[in-house]
Structures are given as C-alpha cells and as structure tokens.
Structure 1
Amino acid sequence: MPDNFFPDHPDQLPGRDAILSMSGLEFMQKVLANELPMAPIAGGLNYGLHSVKLDEIVFRGAPGFNHMNPSGAIHGGWYGTLLDSAMACAVMTRVPKGSVYTTLEYKVNIIRSIPSGMLVDCIGTVEHAGRSTGVATGKIVGVEDGKLYATGSTTCIIMTPK
C-alpha cells in the first residue's frame, strides 16, 4: 500500500494520488475495513461507517448532549451532516477509479426528534449515477424502534481531475 494512505494515523487523510488510485467503492470498503481513516467529522458527531455495498452506505450513530441546540433538541445540523455523509458516500460507491465527487446540493426533511443517546442508522441509496452526476436518497431510522426520523436527497457532481 502506498505511503500516502496513512491508515495507522487517524490525524492524516489519504492524499490525492491515493484517492485517485482506486474506485469509490474500493475506497469505502477500505474505510470500513479500517485500512483508511474515517472522516474526522464523524468522531465529533458520534457516528461511524456500518456497512458498504454498491449503491448503498449505512452509517450508525447516536446524537448526544453535545449535539443539542439551546432548546434541548438534537440540532438539525446533526441530521443534515449524517444524511449528507450517507447519501454522498452512496454516490461514491459508483465513482470510477481516477475520478472524484462532491455534493452539489442536499435537502433534509426532519420528521420527528431523535432522543439524545438513541442509536440510529442512516441509509444512503443511489437513485442514479452517470458520467457527471449522481443522485441519492437517504433516511434516518431508529435501530431499536424502526421509526423513520428524517429523509433526504442529494445531487453530487462526479469529476475527472486533469
């Protein structure tokens, strides 16, 4: 494995050459296998990668006190970040070797409040992946109760750097 992967150094992320050397699906599989580091934001928001397959990513996490707004509810940014991660990473499973992607826009619909400490799954599913765009949907579901807490949709751009 090239030196720029830094799998044993969680404070360092893989370099551009390393990212471009594999498909997005391979990249996500390496993150799941702890061969590549998780995105640093996941640690601060208390979620992690739970499963990876073509067209579907699942993150699992539980919001806590540090994720509340001043009124005591889980901040909408927690829902949004979790959904953005799952939906965009689902699109990443379709990104070919030598290409990259980024979120162009996303939308979140909060259906009900997630109680602090409740374990949830966030499932991102690809609806379309072409040469230049990917579209995905997402949902946040309680692990124990199976209730739907939020939904989302995203459009990502897929690019081949020169």
Structure 2
Amino acid sequence: MNLLHEIGPHLSGIEQLKAMLQTDRRPGIGETLDIRLVEVDDGRVVLEAIPDIHLYNPFGTVHGGFAATMLDFACGYAVMSRMVAGQTTSTIELKISYHKAMNKDTGTVRAEGKIITLGRRVAFTEARLTDLDGKLYASATSSLIVLSAQ
C-alpha cells in the first residue's frame, strides 16, 4: 500500500499534504534522505533537509541526486496541492541547473516549489534550492502529467 492511500485516498491533494505535514509522514526516499515537508499552500510547498557527509559523491561534495530529489519533491508536491481526490501526478521531465556545490557545512537547505501553469492534463512548475540565507544551490523546471484515479 502507498503512503497516500494510508493517509486517505478520499482527501484532496492539499489535504493529504497537510496530513503529511502534521504527522511528519514521508515516502521512503524522504525518510532515507531525511527530507521534511515544512510548508504547504495552494500551488506552493517548501521542504527542508540538511546535507551531510553520507550524501557525498567521490569528489567530496553532496551528490547532485540529493538536490534533484528535493527539487522533484517540491515540483510534484506543488502540483499535488491542486489535485482533487482521486487525482495524482507523475513527473514527465525534470531540468536541473546546479549553481553551487553543497557540503556538510552548508546547513539546512530549503526547496520551494511553485506551479507556473496547471492544465487539465499537464502542469509546469519551478523550484529553487537555497540555504537559510537565500544562497541558490540548484534550480529546476518540471513538467508533470495529471492522472485520474482508475
């Protein structure tokens, strides 16, 4: 069973996200990377995490997959916030730009995702990954398909 079915498939996306926020429920990859949902609004979400040495690549900086995962969550959850009960979404495309390397001294980073446009079948989003001072580490744009329950 998936997390959203456990939370309540009868709930809208924003209700599911708010339930996840209130109970600190996360999907498996969110648990593994310790990515926490911290804000939920209509068409906008914020997640936080602390990059550390366990996320390092062979070059001694945080692996880009960590930033990609945070940005993908932010884009997907932003769209999820507008889904009605029974709808879901899936990433079609994720374009990431890495602006600055992260390391264990970076501290808490925040991924803020926003909807750019939302159609009946496709959503377009953007997200930014920054530290608490607003320094930009990575940014993304994403296209997501909107799916109805079958």
The answer to whether the superposition gives a TM-score over 0.5 is: yes
Q: Which has the larger radius of gyration?
A: 1
Specify every segment of 5 or more residues in structure 1 that has no aligned partner in the other structure, as ranges.
Answer: 5-11
The residue that corresponds to 1:8 in the other structure is: none
Match of 1:142 in 2: 131
Instruction: Give the alignment of 1:1-150 within 5 angstroms.
Output: 13-15=3-5, 18-19=8-9, 21-34=10-23, 37-117=25-105, 118-143=107-132, 145-150=133-138
CA shift, 1:115, in A, is: 2.4
Q: CA deviation at 1:93?
A: 0.6
| 5+ long unaligned stretches in structure 2 | none
Count, aligned residues: 149
Judged with a 3 Å threshold, the aligned counterparts in structure 2 of structure 1 residues 93 and 46 are, in CA distance, closer, same or farther, namely: same
Q: Secondary structure of 1:152's match?
A: strand
Per-residue CA deviation, residues 110-150 of structure 1 (Å, 9 max, x unaligned), is: 0001221511110000111121111110001111x221111
Map Cα deviations across residues 32-66 of structure 1 (whole Å, 9 max, x no partner). Answer: 111x7211211211220010000110001111111
Which 4+ residue blocks in structure 1 deviate beyond 4 angstroms?
A: none
What is the Cα-based RMSD across aligned positions, in Å?
Answer: 1.8
- Residue 9 (structure 1) aligns with: none
TM-score (norm: length of structure 1): 0.85
1:154 counterpart = 2:142: yes
The alpha-carbon distance between structure 1 residues 29 and 16, as it changes in their structure 2 partners (threshold 3 A), is closer
Q: TM-score, normalised by structure 2?
A: 0.92
Superposition deviation, residue 157 in structure 1: 0.6
Show CA shifts across 1:79-99 (max 9, x none): 100100011100111111221
Distance 2:51 2:148 in 1: 36
Distance 1:78 1:109, change over 3 A: same
* 3-state SS of 1:33 partner: helix
| Equivalent pair of 1:46/1:63 in contact (CA under 8 Å) | no
